[in-house]
A and B are shown apart, each in its own frame.
Chain A
């Protein structure tokens, strides 16, 4: 059953050095506040899994949290490289970083296999792609019915999955909407889970019956962290901070500038700063812009 606790307690209870950790959110709902708490608690030797490492893993890798990263697209979307990831992989700073590289299709299928309790995922993929030559976790099998050659990768089964969601109710049910990514699969595939949310409401009465909900009994802990996805976004709450994604590039390009930024904006503060970093959408903003477009 989900327990509602503060973020510091959640990370201390659920994550240990050496764990395999998946922090998901496909551009949307990236759990940045939880990552900063992991950095503050000084966890190391983590195997980090994420389709798009993004700024969240660039920061964790640059602060020495990771031993290995498993990913399928390691860039700063629309901007360029992840400079801390590259420095760790190419120059071993601050520590040596091992990589395991896949395609998006492979990782999405592998999360789904993890949630489904299967040992591996099977899909039509990696045809003629050279990742299959350099990653021993990519293999091929033949369909027992048609003999078609199909790709197989091991299921992803993290020790702990960490996600950010729009809201939870008091009982601990969790709601995710908008671009839902692989978060449901990541949580169901993991042994433990940490969820941060924009708000906690009394109940979910009146919601659309098909909205994506993780029932309370599938979730470990829930922590209230408004703004906790920044510079990513939470649909219905605040927008993606595209300017920050662009500003990150020069910050991350230099080791000392990066360390100073992390010292000031992560190590010396707590999760409460996230609410100040975003501009919350007013409840009528969406309808106002809709009617403006119709005029």
Chain B
């Protein structure tokens, strides 16, 4: 069965979450991945959107984090202050699933500006829920298409903390949650080195070369001792993903 690189990325991302997870879902690619997981291997996963919907089960992917279907199919819908105070800050979320405009090798996320904050080259939408999702969820998964513009040595602005500019700041600030541990792209899967807190490539998607990965990364790519080949999407995964769109 033929599939696109975007579909490979979404399918690989969907495999990262499990049936027991309580997932705080960002819009776009994270939302596609989490709902695909729900329709395939994780039917009981709890999906939470920042609009207040808890345990939602949309039949088609929402355009916004607050589409009506998210509320209609949810176990319950709470106010936005309650969502951020009791559910996120309260430590009830296992996985925060986020995207980024710019990302560095320590998983620091920029969705605020390209260039200087006060005189930006490009003004991006901003942080939304992400600054607190990044530190309050037990663990962070990231999904993002690779390019040298997006995968940079140093992000222009830390909207949401990964492991900090040197990989040590998260611990130094006393943040007790795990932070970014997995990054799924259109080319490969990265996991966080437990010592340096850098992303290292642990699995390469079928047909992708190491040269391609390096050409689309703004830092020198490190590989794990053992690098696997990501299993290609199967028919069940592709059918479920296509039914969501």
How far is B158's CA from A27's CA once the two chains are assembled, in angstroms? 26
Check if B52 sits within 8 Å of A129, measured CB to CB: no
Contacts of A109 in B (CB 8 A): 81, 84-85
Kindly list chain B residues whose C-beta atoms are within 8 Å of the C-beta of A182. 79-81
Are B52 and A179 in touch, CB under 8 angstroms? Answer: yes
* B contact residues vs A (CB 8 Å cutoff): 27-28, 50-53, 62-68, 70-72, 77-81, 83-85, 88-89, 112, 117-118, 120, 123-132, 134-136, 157-161, 164, 169-170, 173-175
Is the contact region of chain B dominated by helix, strand, or loop, or is it mixed? loop
* Pick from B51, B63, B64, B118: contact of A134, CB under 8 Å: B118
CA–CA, A223 and B117, complex, Å: 41
Inter-subunit contact A71/B77 (CB<8 Å)? no
B164 A128 Cβ-Cβ under 8 A: yes
Task: Flag A261-288 by CB within 8 Å of B: 1 or 0 each.
Answer: 0000000000000000000000000100
Which of A78, A79, A126, A128 is the one whose CB lies under 8 Å from B169? A128
Q: Is the CB of A127 within 8 A of B127?
A: no
- Which residues of A are in contact with B by a Cβ distance under 8 Å? 26-28, 51-52, 71-75, 77-79, 81-82, 86, 89-90, 101, 103-105, 108-109, 111-112, 123-131, 134, 149, 178-182, 184-185, 233, 235, 239-240, 242, 245, 286
The distance in angstroms between the C-alpha atoms of A105 and B53, with both chains bound, is: 16
B79 touching A128 by the CB < 8 A rule?
A: no
A–B complex contacts, Cβ < 8 Å, 18 sampled: A72-B127, A74-B125, A75-B125, A108-B85, A127-B161, A129-B161, A130-B112, A131-B127, A179-B70, A180-B77, A180-B78, A180-B79, A181-B79, A182-B80, A185-B81, A235-B71, A242-B63, A245-B63
Task: Decide: B126 and A73 in contact? CB cutoff 8 A.
Answer: yes
Which of B64, B118, B174 contacts A78 (CB under 8 A)?
B64
Separation of A52 and B50 alpha carbons in the complex (Å): 12
Give every chain A residue within 8 A of B89 (Cβ-Cβ).
105, 123-125
* Cross-chain pair count, CB within 8 angstroms: 170
Distance of A264 from chain B, by nearest CB (Å): 25
A179 adjacent to B126 (CB under 8 Å): no
| B65 touching A131, Cβ below 8 Å | no
The complex places the Cα of A92 from the Cα of B173 at a distance, in Å, of 38
- CB nearest neighbor in B for A235: B68
- Which residues of the partner chain B approach A52 to less than 8 Å between Cβ atoms? 128
Using Cβ atoms and an 8 Å threshold, which residues of chain A touch B53? 179
Provide the bound-state CA to CA distance between A28 and B80, in Å. Answer: 12
